[in-house]
Amino acid sequence: MIAWDPNMEMMPEPELKKMQFKLLKTLVYRLYSFSNFYHERMDTHGVHPDDITSLEDLRRLPFMYKTDLRDGYPDKIFTADQEELVRYHVSSGTTGKPTVVGYTKHDLETWTESLARALTSCGLGRGDVVQVSYGYGLFTGGLGLHYGAERIGASVVPTSVGNTERQIELMQDLRVTAICCTPSYLMHIGEAAKKMGVSIKNDTHLRAAVLGAEPWSEQMRLRIEEEMGIKAYNIYGTSELSGPMFCECTEQNGIHMWSDICLVEILDPETDEPVKEGEKGEMVVTILQKEALPIIRYRTGDITSMDTSPCSCGRTHPRIARLSGRVDDMLIIRGINVFPSQVEHALLGIPAVSGHFMIEVGRIGALDTMLVRVELNPEAFSDKINDLIAIRSMVAHTLKNALNVSVDVEIAEPGSLPRFEGKAKRVIDRREY
Ligand code: DLL
């Protein structure tokens, strides 16, 4: 078994727990002393750093939500000065404002090391040629995996997303052995390759894929592995935690959550009580070592279960199961997180449209589609087709700007979309994973 950091990855559990407690205690004292946000939160919650006397006392600390980052936009809750920051990444917020994550040099180092462990645990290393087809830029996927793959000594092909035919040519010409991208983009690459008369299985050197950033199923894994003749590994992370960080090992039996980097709780989202091991609940994560944007008890919204039994790979860090859904209504469209509340927020800024809308999500081939049906106000509605076309393209433009993803727009007559008596159900998701 090859591990990137064997001493850490195979540290006996009691030692790991001791380390976690020390890190937690230090973190809480630091934040209470230096962060107004955390100081006030802890005071309001009636908890003082002295109250943290064991790992279990983590539960006494207040939760943190995505909305806290949005409210702190752009950097109000950072605990490092701007001069100490070496990177920003930005992801979708729940409404108008995105969430910004800052990184110090140390934060980037921890993130890169976690990815070096992750990629090594999928059997990759020096000699591999890794094509990074996650988006580069504000999204954490591209740059995160780029630095992780360089760290393990692999040769990186930084293709980012798009230009699919060229990606396939490069994959062949540079003898790419591993690809990192969303599962749906890999399926799309597979389809495009077929059209070009290229068999990924027979005409390339690809042997592994590191797939994440959106939900995918065990059936999809089997299909990808069979069709492409590769091993497909599940990688997880969120921008608030730093980006992709946690991954399956070659046992493909759960995602290892590095215990020196984070503390994981699985809670019943209704009662906030921990569920039993193996039962599903919302994953709540505390990042133990983060300088610029500390994260304590972050409600990820992701549903999974935990397994603390030893993994046959020898790693002692607990594993989470494949994610099985979200507690909120966040959608992931072509790798971009979209909240229906963002759609509503953007639409309400357009005087011609009423507050009634519906979202239909589907898939053509391997690519996600999103259609937003928008009802117009009676005053804005006209039977002149050109007027409607102009409104439609204006709405599509506004939504693209707000969501960072192109959507189809259909204009609906006033009064024609469903009205809801209880909770509005505005999203129809027809995708199969
Ligand atoms: O998607 C980070 C990432 C990049 C992960 C590349 C893996 C690979 P965000 O854009 O902030 O960050 O989206 C985070 O995506 O809360 C999950 O709901 C979903 N997600 C991420 N990985 C997986 C996965 C990146 N393996 C949100 N399976 C998370 C299912 C995933 N959902």
State pLDDT tens for residues 173-195.
999 999 999 999 999 999 999 99
Q: Is the pLDDT of residue 222 over 90?
A: yes
| 215 Cβ below 6 A of ligand 1 | yes
Closest Cα to atom 24, ligand 1: which residue?
A: 212
| 140 Cβ below 6 A of ligand 1 | yes
What is the signed CA dihedral for 137, 139, 144, 145, rounded to 10 degrees?
-90
| 120 Cβ below 6 A of ligand 1 | no
CA of 391 to the centre of ligand 1 (A): 34
Q: Is the pLDDT of residue 1 over 70?
A: no
Cα radius of gyration rounded to whole Å, the chain: 23
Q: What pLDDT digit, counting tens, does each position of 155-175 carry? A: 999 999 999 999 999 999 999
Residue-level pLDDT at 95? 79
- Same structural domain, 312 and 346: no
Domain boundary among 288, 305, 326: 326
- Same structural domain, 47 and 181: yes
Cα angle for residues 163, 167, 168 (degrees, 5° grid): 125
Pocket test for ligand 1, best of 216, 283, 337 (most atoms within 8 A of CB): 337
CA of 311 to the centre of ligand 1 (A): 23
- Same structural domain, 298 and 385: no
Which strand (E) or helix (H) includes residue 187?
A: helix 183-195
- Same structural domain, 322 and 334: no
Gap between the Cα atoms of 233 and 123, Å rounded: 10
- Same structural domain, 342 and 281: no
Domain boundary among 273, 302, 326: 326
- Same structural domain, 306 and 358: no
CA of 389 to the centre of ligand 1 (A): 35
Domain boundary among 284, 300, 326: 326
Q: Which residues pair with 363 in a beta bridge?
A: 368
- Same structural domain, 243 and 193: yes
Closest Cα to atom 1, ligand 1: which residue?
A: 213
| 78 Cβ below 6 A of ligand 1 | no
The domain that holds 85 is classified in CATH as 3.40.50.12780
Instruction: Kindly report the average pLDDT of the chain as a whole number.
Output: 96
- Same structural domain, 177 and 99: yes
Residue type for position 337: N
The pTM of the full predicted model, rounded to 2 decimals, is 0.93
The domain that holds 415 is classified in CATH as 3.30.300.30
Of 302, 306, 294, 235, nearest to 265 by C-alpha is 306
| Structure token pair of residue 38 | 């955390």
User: 212 and 244 in contact (C-beta within 8 Å)?
Assistant: yes
Q: Name the domain count of the chain.
A: 2
- Same structural domain, 308 and 334: no
| 164 Cβ below 6 A of ligand 1 | no
- Same structural domain, 27 and 172: yes
- Same structural domain, 319 and 376: no
CA of 68 to the centre of ligand 1 (A): 19
Q: What pLDDT digit, counting tens, does each position of 101-148 carry? A: 999 999 999 999 999 999 999 999 999 999 999 999 999 999 999 999
Gap between the Cα atoms of 301 and 299, Å rounded: 6
User: Domain range spanning residue 411?
Assistant: 330-429
Pocket test for ligand 1, best of 64, 214, 216 (most atoms within 8 A of CB): 214
- Same structural domain, 195 and 79: yes
CA of 255 to the centre of ligand 1 (A): 13
Q: What pLDDT digit, counting tens, does each position of 272-289 carry? A: 999 999 999 999 999 999
